[in-house]
Chains A and B, each alone.
Chain A
Amino acid sequence: MRLVIASGKGGVGKSMLASALAMLFAEDKKVVAVDCDADAPNLAIWLGGVKKWDKTILVSTSAKPEFDFKKCNGCSLCVKNCRFEALQLAQGKPKLNPFLCEGCGACEVICPLKVIKLKPVQNGEIKIKKTKYNFPLVSGQLYPGESGSGKVVTEIKKEAEKFAHEVMIIDSAPGTGCPVIASLQGANFAILITEPTPSGFSDLKRVLEVVNHFKVPYRIVVNKWDINKNLSQKIEKWAGRKFLGKISFDKEIFKAIANLKPILETNLKAKREIKEIFNKLAT
């Protein structure tokens, strides 16, 4: 089973919940935990931190154009056909802004004089660690300034599939764009976590549109439910039978994670609430 934790809004507790669920499932099942937030991967921290990774695999899922200017007559077709505004004409020749380049190759195919060739770039890495909780963690990192976040996520998932497992826990990026789409592809189940704020609720509805598009069955968890009990109740009612559970707000969680203490190794109320959520999920 591939279980995705998604949220739309950032900082609502995806990685906290994902880490705890991975640890709970691992008590009697083969688990692989996957951090698919390649932009800002934090799942390792919620699992107590990783000092040294067992394995690092370099990823090259992006490419950038290189120009053979001797052949270029400055026709500017490449500039006009770049949908990402990554090419500009400077002194009669195309000039690349690498940070806007998506590596799509439209410039390469439009150039009538074959001036442009796309060269692969290393845009990220995959990192693997056998955790002390008896399951592997597969994480990754998109390099700052590189493109292809979604494609890095797809590579991370491929690597994770190589581990024999019954449950794959996928911690998704926030938002609704390419890394989230890549996380949700092929998922069997999703837990959508939110907080009772106007932002949290609005973003939940937006990510739900993507989840429904992929027809992934889902349940909803409200984190920090007691910071706005009215709105929390409203979300619970709105979720109906999709409602899975709620977790209390506690400043102490902040302090626990500052000491790299996984939530399940504390005695906080949130730990009991997450266990309840797990028990409901398991049935």
Chain B
Amino acid sequence: MKKIVITGGKGGVGKSTVAILFADKLVRENKKVILCDCDVECPNDYLLLGQKLAKPIEKVFAEFPKLIKKKCKKCGLCAKTCRSNAIFQAPGKYPVFIKDLCSACGACWIVCPYGAIGPQKEETGQIFTNRVKNNFWLVTGMAKPGLEETGPVVTEVKKFALKFAEKNKVNVTLFDTAPGIHCPVVSALLNCDLAYCVTEPTPMGAYDLNLILDLCQKLKVPAKVILNQADLGDKRKIEKIAKKFKTKVEKEIPYSRKLVEAYSKGKLLNFRL
């Protein structure tokens, strides 16, 4: 089974569009395919496929700190240990946990000498499955809005998709990532066979492509470039960056108002890549 990532650095360059059209192309070549939406902060593949998310098939949890007041001696060790600045403690007062900053790492209850912090399990995300058509499944990960640390949700969604792939004897699993280069993208890229980096021929596209190719190189994931709206700008800069990372522009997709409109109506599958 092949694990292929669709990523790109910049937002709105067509990652999801490419992921969906690529998945559909593989299905039409008689492959069994899972598309796994790893943009857990803003998952959109289901919308572009005209699917609805029913009940989650699995839930993702993390453990957050909760103070057990009667055991707390206000020693301040938890606040000193927290590297996320998520524990505030005024002198002589009980510590206050700031959820917005908490990465749910557990250092505070490990360090507390009085057992005054209890881990409290909370839902951080959900996983959904859709059967788009014969041999084409969609796995969607969705994090709770406002969750600080979304990388672990991606890790869980990926694990689920890989188990699902094994069970259904899938040939290719495509992972569609969030924009950017930080933890949710890193979690999606790790241990994959190939990354297609989607970009556009603008200075922003070029700048962000450089970053994502750099990240792929560090993670040792071979990368290729897909240039979307290829005819709208200067593609030489993109080609130069690809060359710098010893790869190339594998495919160019020309600008198409029809494609933009199909996207805006959630009817991407009428299109062929």
What residues make up the interface of A, taking CB atoms closer than 8 Å to B?
8-12, 15, 37, 39-42, 45-46, 49, 63, 81, 83-85, 97, 99-100, 102-106, 108-110, 118, 142, 144-145, 147, 149-151, 173-179, 181, 185, 195-199, 202-203, 206-207, 209-210, 213-214, 227-228, 231, 249, 251, 254-255, 257-258, 260
* A9 in contact with B9 (CB, 8 Å): no
| Interchain CB contact under 8 A, A227 and B62 | no
Does A258 contact B11, Cβ atoms closer than 8 Å?
A: no
- The answer to whether B149 and A177 have CB atoms under 8 Å apart is yes
Which residues of A are found within 8 Å of B224, using beta-carbon distances? none
User: Is B162 interfacial (CB-CB < 8 Å)?
Assistant: no
- Residue in A176, A185, A195 whose CB lies within 8 Å of B145: A176
CB-based nearest B residue for A203 = B42
Q: How far is the CB of A231 from chain B (nearest CB, A)?
A: 7
Given contacts A202-B47, A227-B261, contact A145 B215 (CB under 8 A): yes
Contact indicator B107/A105 (Cβ below 8 Å): yes
Instruction: Evaluate contact between B149 and A178: CB separation under 8 angstroms.
Output: yes
Judging by beta carbons under 8 Å apart, are A207 and B203 in contact? no
Measured CB to CB, the nearest residue on chain B to A62 is: B83
Name the interface size band of chain B.
35 or more
Q: For A257, give the chain B residue with the smallest CB separation.
A: B202
Tell whether, in the assembled complex, residue A149 and residue B41 are in contact, meaning their CB atoms are under 8 Å apart: no
In the complex, A195 Cα to B47 Cα: how many Å? 14
Asked whether, in the complex, the Cβ of B105 is within 8 Å of the Cβ of A106, the reply is: yes
Contacts of A185 in B (CB 8 A): 100
Which residue of B62, B104, B145, B207 contacts A45 across the interface (Cβ within 8 Å)?
Answer: B207
Contacting residue for B180 out of A97, A145, A149, CB 8 A: A149
Asked if A174 and B145 sit within 8 Å, CB to CB, the answer is no
Give Cα distance in the complex from A145 to B151, angstroms.
13
B148 touches A150 (CB 8 A): yes
Residue numbers in A under 8 Å from B110 (CB-CB): 81, 106, 109-110
B232 contact from A202, A228, A251, Cβ within 8 A: A251
Interchain CB contact under 8 A, B179 and A10 = yes
A195: B residues at CB distance < 8 A: 264
What 6 pairs across the A-B complex have the smallest Cβ distances?
A: A10-B11, A11-B12, A39-B180, A104-B105, A199-B44, A149-B182
**B residues neighboring A (CB under 8 Å):** 9-13, 16, 39, 41-42, 44, 47-48, 62-63, 81, 83-84, 100-101, 103-107, 110-111, 143, 145-152, 155, 178-187, 190, 201-204, 207-208, 211-212, 214-215, 218-219, 229, 232-234, 255, 260-261, 263-266
Q: Which residue of B lies closest to A201 (CB)?
A: B47
Q: Which residues of B contact A81 (CB under 8 A)?
A: 106, 110
- Given the known inter-chain contacts A177-B148, A197-B263, please indicate yes or no for A149 contacting B208, CB distance below 8 A: no
Chain A positions within 8 Å of B179 at CB level: 10-11, 39-40, 173-175
Residues from chain B with Cβ under 8 Å of A106 in the complex: 105-107, 110
> A179 and B152: CB pair below 8 A?
no
Interface contact A9-B12, CB-CB below 8 Å: yes
Chain B contacts for A203, CB-based, 8 A: 42, 44
20 chain-A/chain-B pairs, Cβ below 8 angstroms: A10-B12, A11-B11, A39-B9, A40-B180, A42-B207, A46-B204, A102-B103, A102-B151, A108-B107, A144-B211, A144-B215, A145-B214, A149-B182, A175-B184, A198-B264, A199-B263, A206-B42, A213-B145, A231-B264, A258-B233
If A9-B42, A177-B41, A254-B229 touch, whether A103 touches B182 (CB-CB below 8 Å) is no
| A63-B83 contact, Cβ under 8 Å, with A11-B10, A100-B186 | yes
Q: Shortest Cβ distance from B84 into chain A, in angstroms? A: 7
Shortest beta-carbon distance from A21 to chain B in Å: 18
Asked whether A177 lies within 8 Å of B184 as measured between CB atoms, the reply is yes
Q: Counting chain B CB atoms within 10 Å of each CB, which of A8, A11, A40, A258 scores highest?
A: A40
Given contacts A99-B218, A104-B105, contact A42 B204 (CB under 8 A): yes
Do B152 and A175 touch (CB < 8 A)? no
Contacts of B201 on A, CB cut-off 8 Å? Answer: 258
Question: Residue among A108, A177, A179 with the most chain B CB within 10 A?
Answer: A177
Q: Note all chain B residues with C-beta closer than 8 A to A251.
A: 232, 255
Of the residues B10, B101, B233, contact of A254 by C-beta under 8 Å: B233
Q: Taking CB as reference atom, which chain A residue is nearest B189? A: A99
A117 to B187, CA, bound (A): 24
Closest to B17 in A: A199
Query: Is the CB–CB distance between B143 and A176 below 8 Å?
Result: yes
Given A174-B180, A178-B149, A258-B203, 4 more contacts at CB 8 Å?
Answer: A42-B207, A104-B105, A105-B83, A147-B186
Contacts of A198 in B (CB 8 A): 44, 47-48, 264-266
A103-B83, A251-B232, A254-B232 given as contacts; is B264 within 8 A of A197 (CB)?
yes
Say how far A7's CB is from chain B's closest CB, in angstroms: 8
A257 to B10 alpha-carbon distance, docked (Å): 15
A15, A97, A197: the one contacting B204 at CB < 8 Å is A15
- Shortest CB-to-CB span from B5 to chain A, Å, is 14
Assembled-state Cα–Cα distance A196/B159 (Å): 33
